[in-house]
Structure 1
Amino acid sequence: MDKIVNIKTVGEYNEHWGVENRHPLVNVFEGSQITRPIPNCRKNFDLYVIFLKDVKCADYLKYGRKEYDYQENTLVFVSPGQVFGYPADGSTYQAKGWCLYFSPELLRGTQLGRHIKDYTFFSYDVCEALHLSLQERETIIDCLKKIDDEINNGMDKHSNMIIASAIELFLNYCTRFYDRQFITRKKANKDILARFEELLDGYFASDKPQSYGTPSVAYCAEQLHLSANYFGDLIKKETGKSAQEYVQQKIMDTAKDMLANLEKSVSEIAYALGYQYPQYFSRAFKKVVGCTPNEYRMAE
């Protein structure tokens, strides 16, 4: 059986690594500081954890149900409640790269605490990790060193606020670098958009709307083998619309084509598109198109 170890506190994760408890709510270290092999195990975190693997190696890790082979200069983000690690089979590994981890308690009352959910990459799948250029890697390591320096300075009434601000700066750089990654993967993103269109076309050409309703963003992301947050961010970057807005527009474009067939009533079209009640369809259509389905038919 694949045993999962629950890591609830920074202190427990320090014990796992065999490092000093310098601060009860946060820690950062570079892999060379870990001098002993670490037993493999899968971990369920109550912490935010960020790994920077800055050398290519053969460390295969399971993240949720997926396996991932780290590439050089890769950042992976884990949020509270996520499972990460390799099954406990008696094997060990040598820590490499950097690791930053902190408790949600560190963020309480801070600006970062109020906006931590805006950093959607904490919910990306591990295969959607951030791959850094050498210059970006230097910037990230500089941020990690500043956090490390502040932890070493000892605790006073300003410590938590300053450390949280330093982590926020680190995450803002990650946001910038993810934006760069979306841009440099334009071709791959265009391919995903084309597959997204094909997925929606196929959905409405089938009987799925009557069985499952209108397609959700989560459903589309799953069919495209992407996390919902990564998929949503990709669609926003490529089209300027949220994934939900894009799906809604596709539904209404399909509805326009169907309204051209006067043999079908508005109610029949609503059910064919996956709406449980025709009035919900009419309301959504007017919101997007600017008129009711019947008014659209008359204008046509």
Structure 2
Amino acid sequence: MKSTQPLRINTISEYHQLMGLPKPEHPLISVLNFDMIKRLSGDSPTSLVYNFYSIVLKRNFNGKLKYGQQVYDFDEGILLFMAPGQVFSIEVEGDLKHTGWMLLVHPDYLWNTSLAKAIKQYDYFSYAVHEALHLSEKEEAMLAGIMQHIAQEYHSPIDKFSQDV
């Protein structure tokens, strides 16, 4: 009998392990391209809780994501924001073929920064938001460029300025 309890993923390292990815280069932040993720399948847990922030851009996802009371279809490409502790479920239809990227940030990474307080005010990290953001091609290209810069910094050696960047 399948458990009705959501699978709680407490750390970014746990997420990497669950998805069959190498250990993250930094324990509190990760930048992933969906080309890297192959493990999610029909027998994977259907309900999940991340204990970290996630910003996700998905395209061509062959499935549905239920977040709050909304069901999202990722055919066109959707930008989705989730705060720690929120329950969501995924239904995958067949093999994964989606594209896009994901930024995972543990709350400890933001500790003692102005963003740690400000992020709680951003409504788009809340269940109260009834729609994910649909992006134009121009907006998507701009975000892809930003993610490339974040990924470049992520893959650089950690120094005393890394967290500020």
TM-score (norm 2): 0.84
Answer yes or no: is the 8 Å Cα contact 1:27–1:151 preserved in 2.
Answer: yes
Amino acid paired to 2:8: N
Higher fraction of helix? 1
Shift in CA distance, 3/129, structure 1 to aligned 2, threshold 3 Å: same
Question: What is the 5 A alignment of 1:158-177?
Answer: 158-162=161-165
Q: Which one has the largest radius of gyration?
A: 1
Aligned amino acid, residue 83 of structure 2: S
* Alignment partner of 1:134 out of 128, 132, 137: 137
Q: CA–CA distance in 1 between the matches of 2:4 and 2:69?
A: 12
Q: What is the correspondence of 1:206-285 to structure 2 with a 5 Å cutoff?
A: none
1:58 paired to 2:62: yes
Contact 2:12/2:52 (8 A) holds in 1 = yes
Deviation (angstroms), 1:95: 4.8
Distance 1:104 1:46 in 2: 8
Match status 1:29 vs 2:23: no
Q: Is the Cα–Cα contact under 8 Å of residues 52 and 98 in structure 1 kept in the other structure?
A: yes
RMSD: 2.3
2:72 aligns to what?
68
Structure 1 position 65, deviation (Å): 4.6
Q: Which residue of 1 aligns with 2:19?
A: 17
Determine the C-alpha separation between the residues in 2 that align with 1:74 and 1:107: 25
Q: Name the stretch that deviates more: 100-109 or 68-77.
A: 68-77
Partner of 2:82: 78
**Cross-structure match for 1:114:** 117
Counterpart-to-counterpart distance in 1, 2:120 and 2:129 = 18
**Deviations 1:255-279, CA, capped at 9 Å, x for gaps:** xxxxxxxxxxxxxxxxxxxxxxxxx
2:86 partner letter: Q
Name the SS for the 1:159 alignment partner: coil
Larger strand proportion of the pair = 2
Q: For the residues of structure 1 that align with 2:12 and 2:70, how far apart are their CA atoms?
A: 25
Q: Is the 8 A contact 1:37 1:95 kept in 2?
A: no
Unaligned runs of 5+ in 1: 163-300
Q: C-alpha distance in 1, partners of 2:61/2:27?
A: 31
- The CA distance in 2 between the partners of 1:62 and 1:126, in whole Å, is 13
In 2: Cα distance, 1:136 partner to 1:93 partner = 25
- Which residue is 1:104 aligned to? 107
Size of the alignment, in residue pairs? 159
Percentage identity across aligned positions?
Answer: 34
Structure 2 counterpart SS, 1:137 = helix
Which residue identity does 1:75 align to in structure 2?
A: L
**Which ranges of structure 2 fall in alignment gaps of 5 or more residues?**
none
What stretches of structure 1 move > 6 A for 4+ residues in a row? none
The one-letter amino acid paired with 1:45 is Y
- TM-score, normalised to structure 1's length? 0.48
Deviation at 1:64, TM superposition (A): 3.3
Counterparts of 1:121-200 in structure 2, within 5 Å, are 121-124=124-127, 127-162=130-165
| Residue 94 (structure 1) shift | 4.5
Deviations 1:207-245, CA, capped at 9 Å, x for gaps? xxxxxxxxxxxxxxxxxxxxxxxxxxxxxxxxxxxxxxx
Once the two structures are superposed, residues 35-63 of structure 1 have per-residue CA deviations (whole angstroms, 9 ceiling, x without a partner) of: x341332211110011101x334321222
- CA–CA distance in 1 between the matches of 2:148 and 2:128? 26
